[in-house]
Amino acid sequence: MYDIYSAVNCEAECKFNYLVKACGCRGYHDPGDASVCSGKEYLKCYIRARRSFNQSDLLTCKCPKECDSTDFIADLDYADFASRISTVDVKIFFKTLDIQVIEQKPAVSVQDVLGSLGGQMGLFLGASIVSMVEILEMLLILISRCVHRCRHSEETGPKIKSPLRAIVPAWQAWTTSSTSRTP
């Protein structure tokens, strides 16, 4: 309905859509393609619907603030001069040269969430990414030893029937080899 987006235009369009939906017509002063309300429709429906439109209806529209806006605050001063000559002296100037920048940022970023999650894990579980990598490394070593023993047993003897029988010796071999490496 409006060429340039602004929160005010969005709210006006929201109100317009609400009134057209409620009455099936628009006020004579409203822009848009809907048919104009007759006098009877205007008195019976349009005015009543306009009064019933409230902030909760406005919140359903979800009109975000515009990305960029420029607002000027106008100030008017005048003085009466006793003179026979009608003159006007107009001076237009900025009251201040201040610029106010308002930015909208998310309260919590993805990095903040991940850092907080890692900190909580470290605090309550005593875990860190290094711990997780070590656990993954241990699982990969156990799986590779299990696969190696299964292949070796196929070549030399009977097959292992239970995978647990392969994991337990692999675990024992891994723990004994890791203890022999420590000084």
Domains and CATH numbers, the chain: 7-59 (1.10.287.820), 110-181 (no CATH)
**How confident is the model over 138-153, as pLDDT tens digits?**
999 999 999 988 887 7
First-to-last C-alpha distance (Å) of the chain: 78
Place of tokens 């337990």: 168
Judge whether 54 and 46 are in contact, CB under 8 Å. Answer: no
**How confident is the model over 105-123, as pLDDT tens digits?**
888 989 999 889 888 877 7
**How confident is the model over 153-178, as pLDDT tens digits?**
766 655 555 555 555 666 566 666 65
pLDDT over threshold 80, residue 69? no
Place of tokens 């439109």: 53
pLDDT at 173: 63
pTM: 0.41
Cα separation of 63 and 11, whole Å?
A: 7
